Chains A and B, each alone.
Chain A
Amino acid sequence: MKGWVAFLQSAANAGVRWHRMMLVALCLAAPIALVPQTALAQSSTSAESEAVVVTPLSFIKVEDLDFGSIIPGTNNGWITLSPDGTVATTGGIVVLSGSSQAAEFAGYGAVNQIVTIRLDRNRYNLTRIGGTETMRLRRITIGSVPPTTLGTNIRTFRIVSPSGAFAFRVGGQLRVRANQAPGVYETQFDVTLEYQ
């Protein structure tokens, strides 16, 4: 008797469990199956519009330097994000495709005008938000022709666009340790541009 009750008990438990799974499955399905489906007379989506206004002698940040979503490799390594957006890595690091973005700046001078650009440092440490772990950022490169490394030394460039308006991208090299603590790392870097 006892054995039989036990069997019933376990069968009931199994049954309850099954029903609970069914319950979950039904709940997942409910929004489609149970909510009366209104005839969709419209389809819609959202889009964004962007414009970068440059006024004489202005200097604007258009995009931040974003190395994207990173999976550390088996060894310490570097991510090289070029001004043109291409990504190369060492150490087996994986950067999720499409998640990175070179920095972009814009300004407006006159054709053939000289501008100087410098940074506040040559190398930076990105620090984990909510922690103390860091990642080294070096070889900050401007997408000039040919590409040039930016730093505390002043670099000189000539505006070549006929309108005098210009834009340039900036990339860099980021060090990622094999045991890099997960999280969001960030830092600020200052770009000083002077119209001559």
Chain B
Amino acid sequence: MNRVGQILTRFALIAMCALGVASAPAMAQTNATSETEILGQGRITKLGDLDFGQVIPGLSGGTITIAPDGTVSTGGTVIPAGGSTQPASFRLEMPIFPIFQFVAYSSPASSDSIVLTLTGDATKTMTLTDFQTDLVDGWRIPFFSGDIDFSVGGTLSVAATQAPGTYTGQFNVVVDLP
């Protein structure tokens, strides 16, 4: 095939790709995956979940709070009963360009709330709100700062008559890199 023919073929192939080629190759083929990740402007990896350990409601219930630095405090008659308590921890990776990158923690914020549901009975819930973080908004120079680790804590409301069991919930952590 001459050069013009080759170029035309390549464009044709690209166009076909974008539209979605339906025909299957006639030959036997094995799949191999090659992964390249383009960071774009950043990636957050979760290092640990937000874990309240065992919690005793006590006579009137109340709240249990885990601060981003791991400190546990309670309100009402709630007693932290042990197990592993930890704030959720994350690692923010940024490419070295742009040289100056503004980092702003976005969510979950102190006014956001999520619901933890009892394993096996989704009607039993606890509310997790007042999210706090130790990620300080501001300009960073990724080349010098490297990966930024930060934590997120929150306050869990426990009712006096909270049904016993394991409660779990999910939340998304978002950091703006405008």
Chain A interface residues (CB < 8 Å from chain B): 15, 17, 19-20, 22-24, 26-28, 30, 32, 34, 37, 39-55, 58, 60-62, 106, 108, 161, 163, 165-167
Looking across the interface, which residue of chain A has its beta carbon closest to that of B152?
A: A47
Alpha-carbon distance between A39 and B178 when the two chains are bound, in angstroms: 9
Alpha-carbon distance between A81 and B123 when the two chains are bound, in angstroms: 34
Looking across the interface, which residue of chain A has its beta carbon closest to that of B45?
A: A45
Alpha-carbon distance between A42 and B177 when the two chains are bound, in angstroms: 5
Q: Is the pair A27, B17 in contact by a Cβ cutoff of 8 Å?
A: yes
* 8 residue pairs, one from A and one from B, having the closest CB atoms: A165-B81, A40-B40, A58-B164, A51-B52, A43-B42, A49-B50, A44-B174, A48-B49
Alpha-carbon distance between A62 and B83 when the two chains are bound, in angstroms: 11
- Out of A15, A44, A167, name the residue touching B175 (CB < 8 Å): A44
Alpha-carbon distance between A172 and B106 when the two chains are bound, in angstroms: 45
> Which residues of B lie under 8 Å from residue A53 when comparing CB positions?
54-57, 126, 158, 162-165, 167
Q: Is the pair A41, B178 in contact by a Cβ cutoff of 8 Å?
A: yes
* Residue among B27, B54, B169, B171 with max Cβ neighbours from chain A (10 Å): B54
Q: Is the pair A20, B165 in contact by a Cβ cutoff of 8 Å?
A: no
Alpha-carbon distance between A32 and B41 when the two chains are bound, in angstroms: 15
B96 at the interface (CB under 8 A from A): no
Alpha-carbon distance between A62 and B152 when the two chains are bound, in angstroms: 23
- Out of B1, B52, B81, name the residue touching A49 (CB < 8 Å): B52
For residue A71, give the distance in angstroms from its CB to the closest CB of chain B.
22
For residue B106, give the distance in angstroms from its CB to the closest CB of chain A.
7
Looking across the interface, which residue of chain B has its beta carbon closest to that of A11?
A: B1
Alpha-carbon distance between A160 and B93 when the two chains are bound, in angstroms: 44
Q: Which of B7-57 contact A (CB under 8 A)?
A: 9-10, 13-14, 16-18, 21, 25, 27, 29, 33-34, 36, 38, 40-46, 49-57
> Which residues of B lie under 8 Å from residue A40 when comparing CB positions?
40-42, 177
Q: Is the pair A55, B83 in contact by a Cβ cutoff of 8 Å?
A: no
